[in-house]
Structure formats: structure tokens, C-alpha cells
């Protein structure tokens, strides 16, 4: 592989690995805090055990996320030196603020883990809330930097140099708010459904018990509310893409030709050489309505740019369809879950429901990974949209492929280790008194 392909593959691998731990780092502290809050209100020992188990999981995943996040920081400088040379001063603020959020999370996680019998109950619960907020803020600040790469603002460009930099204007670029909201909700969705699915599987194996039932209730509530809210954030993000990154939107929908009253495509496969998207179910005027909220709006097609400036249309379109399809299935499941919970409690009595929960539980992370592929592949061939090409930013250092294969091995071993630690210290069998149905 040449340096560009290897560097992009290495960055993609690291991001795909890190995003799992980042998403859980956003969501699990919230679930942990809710569990403790419920225990303090009800004195139900299942909530206490759950809070302590999820706290251990937060600590394990925090440590692994710190390692993979540090690798990402080094990769930005080593793989993309020209990008950092020019843009480092612009995106430095969100990365610095992310560091503050990271250290705040670490400090209060320590208080939470070791302060059960050492600090007042209110302070202990507050420390859990601060861990949850800090984890979310870490994701917010990093996403601000990525949003700037999609809609760069807050500077003047003079002879290829960034001058007159306004850090806050850069951090709050046009893509910042919709992309941040979409990312945070995606994290809550992915980790919420995955956690609920694990406890659903355990409930099927162990039989009805209070511990797994309350875990499903908390995790599924957080994941379900988040996935239902995604439709609103997705709409805002689509409108931003329509005005700021029209070629990305055209790639999402396989829209090769500029068209008034453009249709929304479900499924299908783009053929760039033929300028057609085949086998799709088309909803008339759907894309115009989605992008501009007007059925007669004109949607820019890929024909507005030379093909050399197109993203990988097929990959972007397929990734987008996967993301939307998974989100749609999870939204439907969330509504069914709410109806079942309203009609008959607890959910643990419905074995068919539990089996379905286990089946859909990975879809949140699948949607999350596909969504990041849409974000990154949809910006190509630009690392900074319309300013710097990815090929201009890549390192010229030799043997980048050696690093790629080495890190692949490290991530494989690290992943197996995390699964073992979680199975041993977080999701193992609780004590008998927590397995009894109350």
C-alpha cells in the first residue's frame, strides 16, 4: 500500500477501535449514576450492585480509551504532519479543552470508585454525575475539531497560511452543534442498547432476577430515548450538509444529477461511471423535503464537481444506508419496548422480547461505525474541506505499513483483554440475594 492508503487505513482502524470506548465512556457513567440514584431512593440492593459493577466497567474502559485516544493524538502528528502544521493552531483549543474534561473525569472517577464509604452520599452521587458530564464533554470537544474539518471557519487564509485565527469561531463552526448532538445521541444509543442486550442474554441464561431486569430498564431507557431523538438531530445535520457539504449529501443519496424535487432513495447501489443509482426504492420529492423542507427545492448533484473531487460514492451511500437502517430498526424496537413496559411489567417476562433485544443490541455500534465512515469518507478527497486535500497532508515517512500491522495486533490483543476483564469483573453472576425477583 502507498503512504496515503496506509495512513488512512491506520487512522480508520484506530478511530473504529477508539470510538467504541469513547461511546461507552459517554454512556456508562450516566447509567452508573442513575443506578446509584435509584438505590439511594429505593434501597433496592440490585441497584447498588449494578452501580458498582458499572463503575468497574467505566474504569476499565476509561483506561483502554485513554490508550487508544493517546495513539490517535500521536497519529495526527506523525501521519498528517502538514495538516497539523497548518491547522494545529486552529483546532488546538477544542483538543486542549478535551484534555481538561479528560482529567476532570479521571479525578472524579477516582472519588466515585473509592469514596463509597469515605465521602457524603450527596457528594458521591455528584461525583458520578460529574464523571458522566465530563465524559460527554470529551466527546463534544473532539467532535468540534472534526466539525471544523467539515466546515472550516474562524480564520483568514493568506498565501496558504491560517492567519487572524478566532478560536471560538473555529470551534463553533456551522457543523459543530448538529454534529455534536448527533454524536452524543449515537453514543447513548449504541452503549444503551448493547448493555441492555448483554443483560437480556444473561437473563435468558440465568432466569428471572432483579439484577438483570433493572439493568435492562436503565440501559434501554437511555438508549431508547436517544435513538428516538436522533431523527431530529439527523434532520438538522442533513440540512447543514445540503448547504455546506452538498457533495457529501449527493453521495449519501447517490444523487448524480442536479434536480428539482429530488427523490429520497432507500437502498440501491450507485454506479459512478454510469452516473446512476440502480435498484433503489425512490420516494418522490423526499430528498428535497429532507434537505430544504420544500418539495420543489433544487438539490445539487455530483455533476456540480469534477469526478476527481467526488468522495467514494458507493461506500458513502452504503454506509449511510446501514446507519439509517440500523437507526430505524432500533427506533421501532424502542417504541415496542415502551409499549410493552406500559402494558405489562417487567419486560423480563417476555422471552421473545429478550431474544429480539439480544439480536438488535449490536445495531447501535454498527450504526455508529457506519456513521463515522459517512462523516470521514464523505469529506474526501479533502482533509480540510475545500482547503487541503488528504493527499497533501499525508506523511512522506517510509514503512508506515509496519505501524499499521503492529497496531492491528495490539488492538486485537487489547480487545480480547477488555472482553475478559468485563466478563470477569462487570457482567459476572451476582450474589444470590440479587438474583431473587422482588
Cis peptide before 381 (omega within 30 of 0): yes
Contact 233, 49 (CB under 8 A): no
How would you class 348 by CB atoms within 10 Å of its CB: exposed for 0-12, middle for 13-18, buried for 19 or more?
Answer: buried
Q: How far apart are CA 70 and CA 383, in angstroms?
A: 20
The domains of the chain are located at 3-435
Instruction: Report pLDDT for 321.
Output: 95
Nearest to 13 by CA among 394, 366, 369: 369
Q: How far apart are CA 62 and CA 79, in angstroms?
A: 25
Nearest to 62 by CA among 107, 125, 96, 95: 107
Backbone angles phi, psi at 106, to 5 degrees: -65, -45
Percent of the chain surpassing pLDDT 70: 96
CB atoms within 10 A of CB 314: 15
pLDDT tens per residue across all 438 residues of the chain? 578 888 888 888 888 888 888 898 899 999 999 999 999 999 999 999 999 999 988 888 888 887 778 788 888 888 888 888 888 888 888 988 998 999 999 999 999 999 998 999 999 999 999 999 999 999 999 999 999 999 999 898 887 788 888 988 989 999 999 999 999 999 999 999 999 999 999 888 888 888 889 999 999 999 999 999 998 888 888 889 989 999 999 999 999 999 998 999 999 999 999 999 999 999 999 999 988 888 889 999 999 999 989 999 999 999 999 999 999 999 999 999 998 888 876 777 778 899 999 999 999 999 999 999 999 999 999 999 999 999 999 888 777 777 777 777 877 887 788 777 777 766 666 655 444 443
Angle formed by the axes of helices 3-42 and 210-244, nearest 10°: 140
Instruction: Report pLDDT for 123.
Output: 94
Virtual torsion, Cα 215, 188, 76, 411, nearest 10 deg = 30
Pairing of strands 259-260, 264-271: unpaired
Instruction: Report pLDDT for 78.
Output: 82
CA distance from start to end of the chain = 59
Amino acid at each position: 500500500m502507498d503512504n496515503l492508503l496506509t495512513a488512512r487505513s491506520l487512522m480508520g482502524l484506530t478511530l473504529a477501535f477508539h470510538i467504541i470506548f469513547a461511546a461507552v465512556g459517554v454512556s456508562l457513567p450516566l447509567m452508573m449514576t442513575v443506578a446509584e440514584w435509584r438505590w439511594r431512593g429505593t434501597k433496592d440492593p440490585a441497584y447498588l450492585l449494578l452501580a458498582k459493577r458499572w463503575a468497574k466497567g467505566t474504569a476499565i474502559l476509561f483506561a483502554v480509551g485513554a490508550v487508544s485516544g493517546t495513539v490517535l493524538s500521536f497519529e495526527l502528528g506523525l501521519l498528517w504532519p502538514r495538516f497539523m502544521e497548518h491547522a494545529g493552531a486552529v483546532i488546538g483549543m477544542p483538543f486542549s479543552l478535551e484534555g481538561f474534561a479528560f482529567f476532570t473525569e479521571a479525578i472524579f472517577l477516582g472519588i466515585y470508585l473509592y469514596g463509597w464509604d469515605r465521602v457524603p452520599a450527596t457528594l458521591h452521587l455528584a461525583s458520578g454525575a460529574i464523571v458522566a458530564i465530563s465524559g460527554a464533554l470529551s466527546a463534544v470537544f473532539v467532535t468540534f475539531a472534526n466539525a471544523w474539518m467539515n466546515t472550516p471557519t474562524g480564520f483568514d487564509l493568506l498565501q496558504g497560511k491560517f492567519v487572524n485565527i478566532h478560536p471560538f469561531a473555529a470551534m463553533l463552526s456551522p457543523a459543530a452543534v448538529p454534529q455534536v448532538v448527533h454524536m452524543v445521541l449515537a453514543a447513548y444509543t449504541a452503549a444503551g442498547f448493547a448493555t441492555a442486550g448483554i443483560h437480556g442474554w444473561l437473563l435468558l441464561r440465568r432466569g428471572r432476577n432483579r439484577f438483570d431486569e433493572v439493568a435492562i430498564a436503565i440501559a434501554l431507557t437511555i438508549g431508547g430515548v436517544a435513538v428516538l431523538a436522533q431523527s431530529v438531530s439527523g434532520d438538522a445535520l442533513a440540512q447543514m450538509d445540503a448547504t455546506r457539504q452538498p457533495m457529501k449529501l449527493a453521495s449519501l443519496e447517490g444523487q448524480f444529477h442536479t434536480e428539482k424535487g429530488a427523490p429520497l432513495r432507500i437502498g440501491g447501489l450507485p454506479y459512478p461511471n454510469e452516473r446512476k443509482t440502480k435498484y433503489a426504492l425512490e420516494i418522490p420529492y423526499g430528498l428535497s423535503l429532507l434537505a430544504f423542507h420544500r418539495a420543489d427545492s433544487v438539490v445539487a448533484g455530483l455533476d456540480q464537481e469534477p469526478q476527481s473531487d467526488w468522495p467514494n460514492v458507493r461506500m458513502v451511500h452504503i454506509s449511510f444506508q446501514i446507519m439509517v437502517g440500523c437507526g430505524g430498526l432500533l427506533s421501532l424496537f424502542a417504541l415496542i419496548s415502551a409499549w410493552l413496559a406500559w402494558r405489562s411489567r417487567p419486560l423480563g417476562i417476555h422471552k421473545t422480547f429478550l431474544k429480539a433485544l439480544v439480536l438488535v443490541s449490536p445495531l447501535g455500534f454498527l450504526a455508529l461505525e457506519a456513521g463515522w465512515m459517512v462523516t470521514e469518507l464523505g469529506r474526501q478527497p479533502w482533509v480540510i474541506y475545500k482547503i487541503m486535500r488528504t493527499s497533501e497532508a499525508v506523511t512522506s515517512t517510509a514503512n508506515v505499513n509496519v505501524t499499521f500491522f503492529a497496531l492491528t495486533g495490539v488492538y486485537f490483543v487489547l480487545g480480547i483483554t477488555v472482553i475478559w476483564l468485563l466478563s470477569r469483573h462487570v457482567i459476572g453472576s451476582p450474589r444470590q440475594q440479587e438474583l431473587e425477583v422482588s
